[in-house]
Amino acid sequence: MFSQSPYECKLEWGRRGAREAAERGDIVIIVDVLSFSSTIVAALSAGAIIFPYPPNLDGKKYASSIRAKYILGRAEAARTGNPSLSPVTFNEEHCNERYVLTSHNGAYCSWIASSVPALLIGSFLNASAAAVLADKLQQKTGADITVVPCGEMWNDARENEDRLRPSIEDYLGAGAILAELGGKKSPEAEVCSGAFKSSESRLKELIWDSGSGRELRERGFEEDVHYCSQLNLTDIVPVLKDGRFIIYK
């Protein structure tokens, strides 16, 4: 049976990886660079209050029940001037506003792993800070750490095909965090860390030209790709508590 159990720092992909990490009781770091993780970091930096929710459930009803606003898709939000699954749409005007944010990848993985000892949001923007906090919590709790690059979903998956599409931006984002974690790393985690180290000097170029980067650019969201590719822009690390993300203090 596949296992990284002998190691303190692990790498697991997507929803399945989030579930297995949760079942082990690990500290989990969710990495969805374009754009859930980066959006959460930007939203909390602006003082917004974010509740993650899976898209297959009724997010609008849930938002109403907790007196929050339901975040729309990028295109619809752009037409109405509201924040969306785009980090550059959040600013000081959204301070203390409550939002429900759904996504097929980051929000879903966060919901699956919500019962772990600590669930952190990691990205390029806060990679070093996320690693420092994860190490601190590992020493406090004794739990192992699993970094979960969420990946993307194929839109045209056929019957009996896996919908998960591994993405380089999430793999390199996970590697940026793993490179700074202090615990003993699994081979999977070591290779991921090495991929980041060998790519760091060309990080922005690689993300810009990646499949996910091109997809966003073709939809008119070039600014998101630029923003999300910045390394260690902030020390803010969102942590899930009582269904919402807070800044760990």
For position 1, what pLDDT does the model report? 61
Query: Where is pLDDT greater, at 82 or 147?
Result: 147
| Tokens 């999430």, residue located | 170
| pLDDT tens for each residue of 185-235 | 999 999 999 999 999 999 999 999 999 999 999 999 999 999 999 999 999
- Cα–Cα distance between 245 and 150 in angstroms, integer? 18
In which residue are the tokens 């390199």 written? Answer: 172
- State residue 206's pLDDT score: 98
Which token pair is 166?
Answer: 């591994």
**b/e for 5-23, b at 16 or more Cβ within 10 A?**
eebbbbbbbbbebbebbbe
Domain boundaries, the chain: 9-44+104-247
Q: Helix, strand, coil shares of the chain as percentages rounded to 5?
A: 45, 20, 35
Question: What pTM was computed for the model?
Answer: 0.97
pLDDT digits (tens, 9 = 90+) for 198-207: 999 999 999 9
% pLDDT > 70, the chain:
100
Q: Where would I find the H helices in the chain?
A: 14-24, 36-45, 59-65, 74-80, 106-112, 127-141, 168-178, 187-199, 203-209, 211-218, 222-228
* Structural contact between residues 28 and 22, judged by C-beta atoms closer than 8 angstroms: yes
Evaluate whether 37 touches 149 at the Cβ level (below 8 Å).
no
- Domain 9-44+104-247: assigned CATH number: 3.90.1560.10
